[in-house]
Chains A and B, each alone.
Chain A
């Protein structure tokens, strides 16, 4: 996968990381952390441990970088590692019966501006709506609308056909619009929620 501008491509960075180049590793991590977070979020459905999962998966990827057979497809390889880590975390959480973000709510920290509070509320509403989707639909809609992947990439990453990817996207977008519309109507009827 080519990087934009003068930035070195993934395969170049992977080769440097294999030689122990810290700066290259840092660049690779920063480039792909948002994607790792998106995948973790998709599998965990808005769980609070998406951060931990994506960090664990990133560390694992750096440790096992020799196993990446196609460095130019590093992001697909990383996505699979994150997906596996997230599924394991989800299984453990189910056993322990931990709460989801939907259950505990995600509120902006005190001292935040009203704009960031508004964004926090929107984020919480989105997470709650995403949590109601099946994992494959969550992943398709997040990869498409958040990461900007095309259906060919999504199909390759998830092992589904491009047609199925389009179908998942269509259903997921519809469900999210419905859920967010209902949320907005409820807010309008009940007024802003505090605390």
Chain B
């Protein structure tokens, strides 16, 4: 299956996302913030990135921008985890190069349904 990078500063969200993905047979690389995520993305060529938006050190939007500058990640699907309360974040993310978004709260099934879309 696919290898997926999950970036979130919240350990419980990371655990849940990672568990759901692994359960569905994917390989998961975890990172705790944008800086960590960028490093992880460079160290492992993954085929999908799922990132939270609000994070310390480097936020999700900045991470997407950085990733799109890497030749390896020019076209890789990148999904951001947003909350319904921040519609402007979606636009910011899109402008930075995000493929799409998953709105929190979500459950593991919704997550899998969404990533199956982009993984094809």
* A and B pair up: no
